[in-house]
Structure 1
């Protein structure tokens, strides 16, 4: 009885300690690596996507995973709280970062811990709006260079691209992922097929040092069985072209030298909304990216079966689920 009481007290104290974030301990053979997943965007439901990926990476692949959130003053998840990142201390032990951020402007402590993680060379898997992850830092802030409207900011420097435009028609034209033939043998694409995202293609022009993995074919509708779109549109550089010729890159990788003198292995994808990640191929590419970034052998066909239930909310401003709390994403006991 005393043993049960002590266990209950321990469980309660652990829950209180983790009230602002969630930790998934590894199942099976532990890899000995800590993945920190950063959520914080107003539109694409990263607060739902990152816990799903954290559960998958921990229970199917043996990684310890910690998911951090943007929180409101009531302690609940609030994607519009751009200055909030819960429990940034987790970044101190991060071996890799998976992120879906948009227009964040964290306080000095959280910003410093993120910068330190980057500067020690952790690999980064960055999804969708992470091209414009930061905005709103004051001009005299040491992190003002991260602002997306400051020469492309953090996204341009590390991912190789910032926010440019919706190349496809938002909420009208979905994306079929077309694997770049020249790089089809890359480990990050191992076992990846049938890529589809119900978000639109972003305009993107990664630098010459990037390895293009996937291009986005714009579809006429929102389902995978619709035909490719065909119309002309001008790029940001005022060049008119057919929207699918050439197709925009939607996933690429590169290696970038950071201010600490080390290098970060980067995977960027303009796919990656919570709804996009219902696609098996996209989940596999993310999981493969974690293995590749950490220098581990990528599985022939990584298990990306979802742990528990995953029914993500459709993307859009103002439509996020109210009343969510980090502990609501804990693994079922």
Structure 2
């Protein structure tokens, strides 16, 4: 009998190890977030969420005491991180114990056994934070588990994908706090938010029901000291960029989300944009928001400029979640020119 269990353990261990290798867990440090679990879901082809989410997870865990889990788009055949694979994000069962989800995906087409975990999460009415392409997080059909996934952003975050409002890869975005919300806890010690990614068009958000905290102004260039374009009709009025939104789940339960249309990995070089996200985590979890949240990098962070990277590059790069553990900080980098 002992030999049988030894053999069974030997057979199971590789499978368990493989499952564990497909997600990243950052253990909770000391801090007010102790006992709360945040799951960050990456998976977009352009804005390098696979870089942004581990960096944010480390800040939330090490500086503030949250337990964090980071999920990635994984090629099931090779086990490597590959955002071009839209149909596989292992580890979504971790949402069973999540208190907050940070969603940073784009047009994911997930199978039922994975998608159901996300449907179960929102049916509890627990909070969401959406970053950049979360406005078009899924492309999973219009009625699965009672949710219109193709309009998930519109229904759960307040807006869907519309268009680029600024010139893509030419102009940047500067956050401008809404005067009436300057004292809102999510904006504690937030003074200068700048994002090289351009301003998104926002036209479906019902501002009479949402709380718009910050708008985004189109800037002359993508440099951090770039000036807001004056007398430009695109800045009159400025587009909403960061807001709180109440959603209603299929269960009838209501929940609160925060959406930031700024959120590319290079955008998060902005200290105050990182602070908005950390502040929002505290606020949405009914914790006292710090007067000036610690948002310094735990490990070096050198984000990759946003672009679409060919599928074969990801397989050659062969990144795995374990490459992002504490003490490690790989960059995706850009493929070398074939010329």
> For this structure pair, what is the TM-score category when the shorter chain's length is used for normalisation?
0.7 to 0.9
Shift of 1:257: 2.1
Shift of 1:141: 4.5
Output one character per residue of 1:80-121: Cα deviation in whole Å (capped at 9) or x when no partner. 111111111111111000111100011101110001011101
| Whole-angstrom distance in 1 between the partners of 2:263 and 2:141 | 29
SS of equivalent to 1:38: strand
Asked if the contact 1:18–1:327 (Cα under 8 Å) also holds between the matched residues in 2, the reply is no
Asked if the contact 2:119–2:145 (Cα under 8 Å) also holds between the matched residues in 1, the reply is no
Asked if the contact 1:111–1:143 (Cα under 8 Å) also holds between the matched residues in 2, the reply is no
Shift of 1:229: 2.5
2:329 is the alignment partner of 1:326: no
**Paired position in structure 1 for 2:178:** 180
Structure 1 residues 298 and 250, CA, compared in 2 at 3 Å: closer, same or farther? same
Asked if the contact 1:174–1:222 (Cα under 8 Å) also holds between the matched residues in 2, the reply is yes
**Paired position in structure 2 for 1:216:** 216
Structure 1 residues 200 and 124, CA, compared in 2 at 3 Å: closer, same or farther? same
SS of equivalent to 2:221: coil
Structure 1 residue runs without a partner (length 5+): 1-11, 148-152, 233-241
| Whole-angstrom distance in 1 between the partners of 2:119 and 2:257 | 15
Alignment: residue pair count: 309
2:157 is the alignment partner of 1:154: no
| Whole-angstrom distance in 2 between the partners of 1:249 and 1:311 | 28
**Paired position in structure 1 for 2:78:** 74
Output one character per residue of 1:222-263: Cα deviation in whole Å (capped at 9) or x when no partner. 11322322576xxxxxxxxx0111100111112222122322
Output one character per residue of 1:3-51: Cα deviation in whole Å (capped at 9) or x when no partner. xxxxxxxxx9986552000001101145200000000100000001000
SS of equivalent to 1:164: coil
| Whole-angstrom distance in 1 between the partners of 2:146 and 2:115 | 8
| Whole-angstrom distance in 1 between the partners of 2:242 and 2:285 | 18
Match runs of 1:278-293 below 5 Å: 278-293=269-284
Output one character per residue of 1:261-294: Cα deviation in whole Å (capped at 9) or x when no partner. 3221110010001110111000000001101111
Structure 2 residue runs without a partner (length 5+): 1-13, 329-339
| Whole-angstrom distance in 2 between the partners of 1:177 and 1:256 | 24
Match runs of 1:235-246 below 5 Å: 242-246=233-237
TM-score (norm 2): 0.86
| Whole-angstrom distance in 2 between the partners of 1:221 and 1:198 | 8
| Whole-angstrom distance in 2 between the partners of 1:112 and 1:249 | 31
**Paired position in structure 1 for 2:5:** none
| Whole-angstrom distance in 2 between the partners of 1:21 and 1:69 | 7
**Paired position in structure 1 for 2:28:** 26
2:287 is the alignment partner of 1:301: no
Report which stretch shifted further, 271-280 or 14-23. 14-23
SS of equivalent to 2:115: helix
Shift of 1:332: 2.4
**Paired position in structure 2 for 1:89:** 93
SS of equivalent to 2:155: helix
| Whole-angstrom distance in 1 between the partners of 2:50 and 2:226 | 29
Match runs of 1:1-333 below 5 Å: 16-29=18-31, 31-72=34-75, 73-135=77-139, 137-138=140-141, 141-142=144-145, 145-147=148-150, 153-205=151-203, 206-207=205-206, 208-230=208-230, 242-318=233-309, 322-332=317-327
Q: CA RMSD in A?
A: 2.1
